[in-house]
Amino acid sequence: MRSLDIISAVAAAAVFCAASSLAQAAGAPDLKLGTPVSAADIAAIDIDISTSDGVGLPPGKGTVADGAKIYAEKCVECHGEKAAGGSMYGSMVGGVGSFLTDKRKLTPGSMYPYAPILFDYIRRAMPMTAPQSLTNEEVYALSAYILNLNGLVPDGGSLDAKTMAAIEMPNRNGFIVDDRPDAKAVRCMKDCPPIKD
């Protein structure tokens, strides 16, 4: 489980870096080295979600139908009609089951082990030119729409924190669990035992 969380965190961080080089997140405090940071400053950027169980998903709800409308306004130029691929990125639809073959097709439907990863990704990094400008309701709606296109949310369906965390993603058990000893390291910040070779 731990390694899956790490994989998704790394994926999200990579996108965030790519996205943040284009535009600063809307609403993010303008923090500078040496200035004190308030709890409110931290709260504004503390948007982590535990993707395996959805803890940290915010309140709110969004429908597939609303997602389709927002998508047409804010996403289609780069991702194409029905997320089938556009000017900036390939298809975000299909490929379910392809991870078991040597012709993998990476989409949120085929790859992500947990649905809340999609919420985290969109909220953190999309649209690429204005990351973190969407409301939580818009992010739920867009997630519902993309998962609907992948056959994982029914037509006329919607998503909230509870229903999103409950989706059984097809590739949930498709990752190799990293059980090397250093993946089991116990965090220590004080009076730590000496490091063994």
- The rounded Cα 75 to chain-centroid distance in angstroms is 16
Q: What are phi and psi of 153, to 5 degrees?
A: -130, 135
Q: How far is CA 19 from CA 13, 14, 143, 165, 194, in A?
A: 10, 9, 18, 25, 40
- Closest approach of Cβ 80 to ligand HEC, in Å? 10
Binding mask 155-194 for ligand HEC (x = CB under 6 A): ----------------------------------------
Q: Which is nearer to ligand HEC, 44 or 78 (CB)?
A: 78
Q: How far is CA 94 from CA 6, 37, 123, 184, in A?
A: 24, 43, 22, 34
**Binding range to ligand HEC, per CB under 6 A, among 28-36, 49-57, 124-132, 168-176:** 124-132
Q: Which residue of 7, 106, 137, 157 would you call a contact of ligand HEC, by CB under 6 A? A: 106
Binding footprint of ligand HEC on the chain (CB under 6 A): 14-15, 18, 74-75, 77-79, 88-89, 92, 106-108, 118, 121-122, 126-129, 142
